[in-house]
Each structure stands twice: as C-alpha cells, then as structure tokens.
Structure 1
Amino acid sequence: MSFHEVRLPARLAFGSTGGVERRTEIVTLGSGFERRSTPWAQGRRRYLIGANLRSLDDMAAMTDFFEARHGRLFGFRFRDFFDFKSCGPGGSVTPADQALGEGDAARTTFALLKRYGDDETAPERRIAKPVEGTVRLAVGGVEQPEDSFTVDHITGLITLDEPPDVGAVVTAGFEFDTPVRFDTDRIEVTLESFNAGRMAAAPLIEVRV
C-alpha cells in the first residue's frame, strides 16, 4: 500500500494554511435558473506547509520527511489543528460525540464517522486514521470498557466483542489524523544566512484510504 503510518512532526506544521474544498458542477439553463450537482460525497482537504520554517535544522527535517515519502509517492498522517477531534478543537472528547450506527443484535463492526452539521443533509466524513489511545465508545449511552472492543488504527474500524442490542445507538469520541500526500515533487530552500533560510510552501492534499 502506498501509505506510511507516520505523522508529520507537529513543529513542521506550525504556520500551515489550508481548508476543505468541494467540487460543484453548475449548469445555467436558458431561463436563468441553475442546476447544481456534485460528484463528491465528501470534501477534500488541502494544505500549505513549511513557509514559516526558518531554522536550517527544521528545513533539513522537512527535506528528510519529503525524501522518505518519495515526494508524491507515499501518503502519511497529518494533524490538522483546526479539525482533529470528534468534537470542536477546544472541546474534550466524549464517547457521545459522534453516532456510528444502531445495533441489530448481529453487527459488531462500525466505522468511525464525523458529521458536519445537524440537519438530514449534513455530510458524514469517514475517519480512517484515529489516534491510538484516544477512542472512547458508548452503546446505548453507556461508555464501554476499553477491553470490550478493538480499534483498527489503519482503517478506522471498531469491532465490539458482543453485538449491540437491536436499536442501541453506538457512539464514539476520538482524535484523528488526516491522510495526505505531498502534491509536489520538488522542495525549494533559500539560504539567507549561515544559520537561517527560507523554504517555499509545500502543498499537501488529502487522499482516500
């Protein structure tokens, strides 16, 4: 698989910019009305990193990380400090943060999800890279002990030892990383003094895993 289960060091991400993008197709009719549709069920994140690095050691670390990923070839984990929890960035994770589904007395595996918005059309984001040791799970509003379920930190799937009862709502709270890759095959660095330099911003793009 073309993905490395390693996170970009946080110090190399400070000063990063980015956000979510959507793809919307718009057709303007002869009447002036529009028909709007999208081929994407989920948004895609993009980031720019490295522009604030000045230390030669940090720039060398960024170059090492870039080389280890072979440029755009291998994906990796990225901590988006604006969106890395099942709750808001300043909140505390609770096992009731996000609904994963309802029990049917047979199903034991549930995928981690994060919902954006409260209405029926709110999109659900599949969370594939939870952070180890942060997942909390509840069934029917009762938090479950850690030894009653397992978490696949590569796929974001939770497997319970026992299937939840019919209608029992399964919820979870967690921290997560965003799977990304470099969106360039080139890193540029300018030497400004013997101990400092400047690095051109390197683009990252979210990948589906």
Structure 2
Amino acid sequence: MGFHEIRFPANLSFGSVGGPERRTEIVTLANGFEERNSLWAHSRRRYDAGVSLRSLDDVESLIAFYEARRGQLYGFRWKDWSDYKSCLPSKQPTAMDQSIGLGDGTRRTFQLTKTYVSGGQSYSRPVVKPVLGTVLVAISGDPKVETIEFFVDVTTGVVSFPTPPDEGVRITAGFEFDVPVRFDTDAVQTSVSSFKAGDMPSVPVVEVRV
C-alpha cells in the first residue's frame, strides 16, 4: 500500500469532525433477543476535512495536498485533535503513561499501544504512527534514553531495545501520535461563491490499516 510519511496540515484538521466507527453484526432472534458479533478487532476512524476550511487559501492548500496524494492513491498522517496523546489532552506525555508489554528476557521489540478503559472494560489500540521526537520509554519506572537505550520506528510504532528487558519488568511509554488515513473520495468540489457564503466542501478522510 502506498503511504506518504507526511501529515495533513494540522491547522486544517483542527475543527474537523469525525471519530471512531465499529462494524457490528446484529441478528434479532424470534424471541426478541439479539445476537451481536463484532466484525472488526479494531475501530476505524473517519473525518471530514472540509468543515475546518476557513479561507480560500485553506482550500488551495487542501487541493495541493490532495493532488500530491493522487486522491485516494496514497495514505498520509492525520492529527486527530481530540485524541493524539498517550495521556489526557490537557496533560503532557510521560514515560509511564501506557503499558506496552512485559519483559521475558528474550523479546526486544514492543508495539506502542494506547489503552482505553471504562467501567472495568478496556480496549488496546495499536499506535503505528508516533510523532518523531515525542516518544518516551521507561522500564520499571526508569526512563530510558532514545537512540542509546531504546529505538523507535516512527513508521510502524515499534520500540526496540539493544538488549532484551529482564523477565517480568514492565515497559511503559508516552507519546504523541497521528492516524494513518487516506482521502475517501475521487473528487473534491469547491465553489468560490458558495464557499464565501459558508458552504464548505465535503472532503471525507478514512483510516487505513498499515
């Protein structure tokens, strides 16, 4: 799959609408009870980039970005302003934000994840597009130094260690991250007159699996 490691202009994604979606199969039985089955292990996010455009210059920037991605052909990074940190949006990431694994004395690589918890239930979301320079890692609460004590691949979200962490130690991380997406349309239609009147173009964006 073609993917460009470039972020959609963050000032244009600010104010966009969107969020996660799930695919659930629901069958209503003869007795009125339901059987529900989740078809996706992970949610998929959708956004509309059009509603955040504020000027004709914004429209031109969006068209340039769209053309450079060849429409739906190439994926890109998207900053979801409602969910882009390993911690609460009002906080700053720390190396103890998220648990990403336990050492076993052999394993050297760990996938960045963000866990969502509510009512005793939880969901772990793989984070595959961390932002360069924001990843913090600790082993058993001891912060480590990037490029010396750990390495991170910002194209996959995989953290690796030169030597395997000891058995039973907890590996934690904090980070900012983007969502891998693509445009979900083969046409972007704009009108200068209608835009000035407040009629924003619809530019759907959808998360992709990478």
Does TM-score exceed 0.5, indicating one fold? yes
RMSD across aligned positions (CA): 1.9
Residue in 1 aligned with 2:3? 3
Q: d(CA) in 1 for partners of 2:4 and 2:99? A: 29
Question: Partner amino acid for 2:142?
Answer: V
Alignment check: 8 A CA contact 2:182 2:205 kept: yes
More off after superposition, 67-76 vs 43-52: 43-52
In the TM superposition, 1:79-94 aligns within 5 A as 79-94=79-94
Q: Secondary structure of the residue that 2:58 maps to in structure 1?
A: helix
TM-score (norm 2): 0.93
Q: Secondary structure of the residue that 1:57 maps to in structure 2?
A: helix
From the superposition, tell whether residues 33 and 179 of structure 1 become closer, same or farther in structure 2 (CA, over 3 Å). same
Residue in 2 aligned with 1:153? 154
The alpha carbon displacement at 1:52 in A equals 3.8
Deviations 1:75-118 (A, max 9, x none): 00000000000111111101111111100111110000011116
Residue in 2 aligned with 1:177? 178
Alignment check: 8 A CA contact 2:183 2:206 kept: yes
Question: Partner amino acid for 1:162?
Answer: T
The alpha carbon displacement at 1:188 in A equals 1.1
Matched, 1:34 2:34: yes
Residue in 1 aligned with 2:206? 205
Deviations 1:161-200 (A, max 9, x none): 121111001110000000000000111111129x998541
Q: Secondary structure of the residue that 1:19 maps to in structure 2?
A: strand
Residue in 1 aligned with 2:66? 66
More off after superposition, 79-88 vs 7-16: 7-16
Q: d(CA) in 2 for partners of 1:52 and 1:20? A: 18
Q: d(CA) in 1 for partners of 2:114 and 2:96? A: 12
User: May I ask how many residue pairs the two structures share in their alignment?
Assistant: 209
Question: Partner amino acid for 1:70?
Answer: R
Alignment check: 8 A CA contact 2:129 2:155 kept: yes
Residue in 2 aligned with 1:20? 20
Q: d(CA) in 2 for partners of 1:155 and 1:14? A: 24
Q: Identity rate of aligned residues, in percent?
A: 52
The alpha carbon displacement at 1:9 in A equals 0.7
Residue in 2 aligned with 1:75? 75
The alpha carbon displacement at 1:61 in A equals 0.9
Q: Secondary structure of the residue that 2:191 maps to in structure 1?
A: strand
5+ long unaligned stretches in structure 2: none
Matched, 1:126 2:126: yes
TM-score (norm 1): 0.94
5+ long unaligned stretches in structure 1: none
Question: Partner amino acid for 2:177?
Answer: F
From the superposition, tell whether residues 141 and 186 of structure 1 become closer, same or farther in structure 2 (CA, over 3 Å). same
